[in-house]
Amino acid sequence: MSGGGSDANLSLSGASTVSPAGELVLTSGGANGFGQVSGAGTLTNNGTIESSVTSGGSYDLLDVNLDNAVSGKVEVASGDLEQTNATSTTNDGIVITDPGTLYEISQGTFTGESDGTMEFEIAGASNFGSVLVSGSGQFALNGGTVQGALEGGFTPPIPAPDSASSPAPTAERSQPSRADLPRRSARA
């Protein structure tokens, strides 16, 4: 679904499913267009939902209750994916924010379940995926996994030890040898 030069909305009238081999792609493009999924019921994702904001686009909108099942993947591939209605997202699969992207929850809730994964991809010290919770939005992780994934050959620098912050060396304490210990006299 492409927002191109105008907005595109997929409006669901009831419960819907993305099949395991299925893919729902939200693409907003030029002229500040956006892609949006909205409606009543719950969208169950067993496949892939991808948000991809191209040059000139503004954002994509996830304005439907979403159950990201164990086999489901939601990926913010570029730009911003915004949850702006009082909807709930439950993650039992994986949600990925690519470098430079934002998943914003300004209304509604995001709940990461014990079998879900939240992955933040990192391509540089200031180039990483992120989540922003604002307004009445709520974000909760009920167990599960939060992980970073290095992308694009990025390797974080490992700082050399700083003598100012390292503890000062201490003098070694010599241990007495057995010969130096006082001897006890035998009792009769």
Could you tell me the residue ranges of all domains in the chain?
Answer: 2-149
- The partner residues of 132 in beta bridges, in order of sequence, read 104
Quote the CA–CA distance of 151 and 100 in Å, as a whole number. 12
The DSSP code sequence of 157-169 is --PPPPTTTSPPP
Whether the pLDDT of residue 164 is over 70: the answer is: no
Mean pLDDT lowest for which of 33-42, 95-104, 121-130, 147-156?
33-42
Average pLDDT, integer, range 168-179: 54
The whole-number pLDDT of residue 8 equals 84
Instruction: List the structure tokens of 30.
Output: 């030029």
Q: Are strands 130-133 and 138-141 parallel, antiparallel or unpaired?
A: unpaired
Give the pLDDT confidence of 34-57 residue by residue, as tens digits. 889 999 989 999 999 999 988 777
Averaged confidence pLDDT in the chain: 87
Whether the pLDDT of residue 156 is over 50: the answer is: yes
Mean pLDDT lowest for which of 24-28, 100-104, 131-135?
24-28
Handedness of CA 39, 81, 79, 135 (dihedral sign): positive
The whole-number pLDDT of residue 96 equals 98
